[in-house]
Structures are given as C-alpha cells and as structure tokens.
Amino acid sequence: MTRAQRLVDSLARRWGFGGEADFVLRVVQPALVGMIDGTVSTLAPIFAAAIFSGSHTALVVGLATALGAGVSMGWSEALSDTGEQTNRGSAYVRGAITGGATTFGGIFHTLPFVISQRSTALAVAGIVVVIELFTIAWVRNRFLHVSLRSSLLVVTLGGAIVLAIGVLLGSS
C-alpha cells in the first residue's frame, strides 16, 4: 500500500468508513457516477444551444440541464438501492453525493458561457471539458485502479460522441 493509499485509508476510518474500500463504495463510486453523467450528458444540449443560438442561451440551457440532471440522478440513486442489500450506505447520502456531483459536473463547462463572444466561450468551455474528463480519468485510476490511458480513452470517447451530437444538432 502506498503512502497516499494509507492516508486515504486512515482518513476514511477517521470519518467512520471501514477503510478505503468502504469509502470508495459509499462515496467515490456515487460521486464518480454523478461526475461522469453531469460532464458527459450536459455537453450535447449546452453546445447545441451555443452553436444554434448563442452564449446566453447556452448558459441558461446549461444551468437548467446541470441542475435538472443533478436532481434526476440524485433521486435515481436514492431510490435504486436502500443500501441494506448491497451495504453501500444510506440511500439518501448516496443520492445527495450523486446529485451534487452531477450538478457539479455540468456546471463547470456551462460557466464559460457568461462570456458573450460565442467562439471564445466555446473555446474556454472546450478546455474546461478536457480538464473535467482528465479529472474523471484520474479518479478512476486512483480509486478504481483502471489504467489512466484506458480510462482517458473511454471517457474521452463518450464525451466526444455526445459533443458531436450537440455540434450536429446545433448546426442544423
């Protein structure tokens, strides 16, 4: 076990988890599901709105999408498993973590659309998306022990597909 893993394990135990594995199951996994969904699922509507209509519309659509997706994902996670059968902890806590992470994942690439110049906002949002996808890949690598290369490939592929849908629809 590396020094970083020992630190996470120690902190997880201090916060009432049974160790790093319990922390991953009850916190990291629900947060990761939310971050992936928030980051990827909001790309199409935000970029379609920006290309079709402009920055202000993309900002409004992005905020609505991120907040709506956060409520939906949080609700879905809380209702999907009481935690008793799977020992994943409180359904309400997991729902809050998933919903918060979903909103968080959708908000960051929405915020560049406060920039009124559409091309600048799109470029900044694209950079933010790259950072978000790298962060997701790093978390998968760190806590789920998935190779960084494989994770970057899979996460980027999903993001690229959804982004392409948004660009195609926005250009129509």
Q: Which positions ≥6 away from 27 have C-beta within 8 Å?
A: 17, 97
Helix, strand, coil: what percent of the chain each, to 5? 80, 0, 20
Q: What is the pLDDT of residue 20?
A: 78
Q: What is the pLDDT of residue 12?
A: 65
Termini Cα distance of the chain? 53
Q: What is the pLDDT of residue 26?
A: 86
Q: What is the pLDDT of residue 21?
A: 81
Please give the average pLDDT of every successive group of 10 residues along the chain, which has 172 residues.
Answer: 69 70 87 94 94 96 97 93 80 94 96 97 95 94 92 92 93 90
Q: How far apart are CA 157 and CA 149, in angstroms?
A: 12
Q: What is the pLDDT of residue 82?
A: 80
Q: What is the pLDDT of residue 164?
A: 93
